[in-house]
Amino acid sequence: MQRLVATLVASKPGGRIAEIGTSYGDGAAAIAAALADGASFVTVEVDPQRAAAARERLARTPAEVLAGDWRDLLPPRAPFDLVFADGGVAYDRVADLLAPGGILVKDDLAPGRPVEGDATREALLRDARLEATEVLVTPAMSCIVAVRRT
Ligand SMILES: C[S@@+](CC[C@H](N)C(=O)[O-])C[C@H]1O[C@@H](n2cnc3c(N)ncnc32)[C@H](O)[C@@H]1O
């Protein structure tokens, strides 16, 4: 997952990059290392202790770590050119964060499940604003990669 996200991040020079769910900053460190020229990066963690640990870990990187709920903190900063959605819920609202052409990556899906009745898949694979597909990352995990059309 980190290599996939880092590769997509590197395709966005000058891009505005966001991560939902920093945890202790493992993924954020990989994103920060892959940022293209002029790109900015903000990552949001709802657990204050994790956010503080991640802020310390990422102090020498361009990452900005915010403590709080992404639903409060990211919409005022949108639009983003890439969002790595790795925590929280309400994925019906996550496409609102994207600029046209912006990429969304949602990981941690169990592969082989139907779209019907799965809130995350329904929200992301059936949103008319998104061109989206599910990608198998390991035998036990898939992700959704989506691009906002307009
Ligand atoms: C799977 S972990 C993130 C892992 C991290 N992205 C990495 O690559 O190391 C999910 C994180 O999302 C956080 N989270 C859950 N709901 C959230 C919300 N509404 N806003 C921000 N963070 C949230 C959790 O506290 C948890 O630390």
Q: What is the 3-state secondary structure (H, E, C) of 76-87?
A: HHCCEEEEEECC
pLDDT at 143 over 90: yes
Residue 89 clears pLDDT 80, i.e. is over it: no
89-104 burial: b if 16+ Cβ within 10 Å, else e: eebeebbebbeeebbb
Proportion of the chain above pLDDT 70, given as a percent = 100
102 lines ligand 1 (CB under 6 A): no
User: Average pLDDT, stretch 47-70?
Assistant: 98
Q: Is 88 in the pocket of ligand 1 (CB under 6 A)?
A: yes
Distance of CA 47 from the midpoint of ligand 1 (Å): 8
Distance 133 CA to ligand 1 centre (A): 22
Calculate how far, in angstroms, residue 15's C-alpha sits from the geometric centre of ligand 1.
Answer: 22
Instruction: Say whether pLDDT at 133 is over 90.
Output: yes
- Choose among 64, 16, 14: nearest CA to 44: 64
Rounded to two decimals, what is the model's pTM?
Answer: 0.97
Kindly report the average pLDDT of the chain as a whole number.
Answer: 96
CB 77 within 8 A of CB 96: no
Q: What is the pLDDT of residue 84?
A: 97
Would you say residue 88 has pLDDT above 90?
no
Q: CATH classification of 2-148 is 3.40.605.10, yes or no?
A: no
Edge-to-edge order in the sheet of strand 98-109: 63-67, 40-45, 16-20, 80-85, 98-109, 141-148, 130-138
Answer yes or no: is pLDDT of 145 > 90: yes
pLDDT value of residue 48:
98
**Rounded Cα gap, residues 124 and 117, in angstroms:** 13
Question: Which atom of ligand 1 is nearest the CA belonging to 21?
Answer: 12
**Whole-number pLDDT of residue 150:** 82
- Distance CA(150)–CA(143), nearest Å, equals 22
- Does residue 130 surpass a pLDDT of 80? yes
* CB-ligand 1 contact for 23 (6 Å cutoff): yes
The rounded distance, in Å, linking the Cα atoms of 11 and 125 is 23
Contact call for residues 21 and 94 (beta carbons, < 8 A): no
> 12: CA distance to ligand 1 center in Å?
23
pLDDT score for 2? 94
Distance, CA of 39 to CA of 50 (rounded, Å)? 24
Domain boundaries, the chain: 2-148
